[in-house]
Structure 1
Amino acid sequence: MPIIRVIDTVNEIVGRIVSVVAIIFAGIIIYDVFMRSALGQPTRWAFDVTKQLYGFYFILLGGYALRHQAHVRVDLLTARMTLPVRRWTEAAGYLIFFFPFAWIFTRESWKFAMTSWNQGEVTYGAVSIPVYPLKMAMFVAAVLLLIQGISEFLKLILDRAPHIEPEITHVR
C-alpha cells in the first residue's frame, strides 16, 4: 500500500536526520568539558543546549523506533500463539491501547506546545533558551508515532508485518 510506504519512509528519513543530533550534543558536551577542565572557563549555555538537543533526539525517534520494532515488548503470551492469532492480538492491542494513547499524546502535546509558543516560554538560568521549539517537537513526535502506528496496524491486518514470522525450530 502506498500509504504504508509513505509513512515508513517519512519516519525513516526523520530517524536518520535526528540521529545526527546525537553527534551534535556529544560535540557540545566534549567542548564544554574541555573548556571547563583544560581552560577553566565553563560555558554558560552548554548544559541547557545539550538538554534540549537530547529532548529533541529522544522524543523524535519514537516513530522510527516503532517502525523498526525497537520498543520494549512483552511477548510472554503472544510467543505461544499461532501466527494469525498473534497478528490479530497485536492489531487489537493497537486499537485498545496504542491509538487512544497516541491520540491523547497528540492532542495534549499540541495544547502544550501552543501554550508555550503563545507565552514565548524560555528556560530559567544564566541563558534564556526558547522552550517552545522542544514542545513543538513533542507534537511532531506524537504525530509521527501516531501515523507509524497506523502503518503498523495496516501491516498487521493486511498480513504484511515482517516482525510476525513463524518460529524457526531446529531439528536434531
Structure 2
Amino acid sequence: MIIKAIDTLNEVVGRVVSVVAIVFAAMIIFDVIMRYVFNAPTRWAFDVTKQLYGFYFVMLGGYALRHQSHVRVDLVTETLGNTARRWVEVAGYLIFFFPFAWVFVTRSWDFGMKSWQQGETTYGSVQLPVYPLKLAMAAAAFLLLIQGISEVLKLILGREVPHHDS
C-alpha cells in the first residue's frame, strides 16, 4: 500500500540521515582539538559541518511529519470529535500544506539546478560545491510532500494519526 511505502521511505531516510549528526559532531570535535590542542585549525571543518547540518536539518522534514513532530496549533481541533477533527486536518493539508509543499518542491528544484549549472561553490579558503545541499532541499521537499499525502490518506481512511503532546 502507498501509505506503508511512503512511511517506510521516510523512516529509512530519517534513520540514515540521523547518522549525519554523529559525523558533523565528530568533525566539530576534531576541529576543536586541532585548533586548541595542536594549534593547527582546519580550513575546511567549519564549511563542511555547516553544510552537513543544513543537509541534516532539511532532510528530516518528512521523517518529522511521519512522527507528528512538527509544531501544531490544536486550539480548534482539540475541542472537536474524532471525525470532525480528521476532516479539519484534511482541509488544513489541502489549503495550507500542499500548496506550500508544492512551491517548496518546485522552487528548491529550480534553485538546486541553477546552482549545479553554475558550478556554485562556497566562498573562502576552501571552495566546496553548494549544489548538493541545494538539491537535497528539493529531495527533502519531495519527501515532505509525499509524507503529507500519506498523512492525508491516513486521515481519510480513518487510521488514527498519533499526536504527541509537548
Match of 2:83 in 1: 84
Q: Does 1:148 align with 2:144?
A: no
1:45 matches 2:44: yes
RMSD, aligned α-carbons: 0.7
The alpha-carbon deviation at position 84 of structure 1 amounts to 0.6
Deviation string, structure 1 residues 85-111 (Cα, Å, up to 9, x no partner): 100000000000000000000000010
SS in 2 for 1:39: coil
The 8 Å contact of residues 62 and 144 in structure 1, kept in 2 or not, is answered as yes
Q: Which runs of 5+ in 2 are unaligned?
A: none
User: Counterparts of 1:62-101 in structure 2 under 5 Å?
Assistant: 62-101=61-100
Counterpart position of 1:169: none
d(CA) in 2 for partners of 1:130 and 1:162? 39
TM normalised by structure 2 equals 0.97
In structure 2, what is the equivalent of residue 20 of structure 1?
A: 19
* Counterpart Cα distance in 1 of 2:52 and 2:161: 32
Identity of aligned residues (%): 69
- 1:16-70 deviation digits (Å, cap 9, x = unpaired): 0000000000000000000001010100000000000001100000000000000
User: Is the aligned partner of 1:124 residue 2:137?
Assistant: no
The equivalent residue for 1:3 is: 2
TM-score by length of 1: 0.93
SS class of match (2:161): coil
Shift, 1:162, TM fit? 2.8
Q: Quick one: distance in 1 between partners of 2:16 and 2:162? A: 24
What amino acid maps onto 2:126 in structure 1?
V
- Equivalent position SS for 1:69: coil
Q: Distance in 2 between matches of 1:92 and 1:8?
A: 21
Q: Match of 1:55, as an amino acid? A: G
Write the distance in 2 (CA, Å) between the matches of 1:40 and 1:30.
14
**One-letter code of the match for 1:76?**
L
Alignment partner of 2:19: what SS? helix
Q: Give the whole-Å Cα distance in 1 for the aligned partners of 2:51 and 2:71.
A: 24
1:152–1:161 contact (8 Å) kept in structure 2 = no
Number of residue pairs matched? 163
Q: Which has the larger radius of gyration?
A: 1
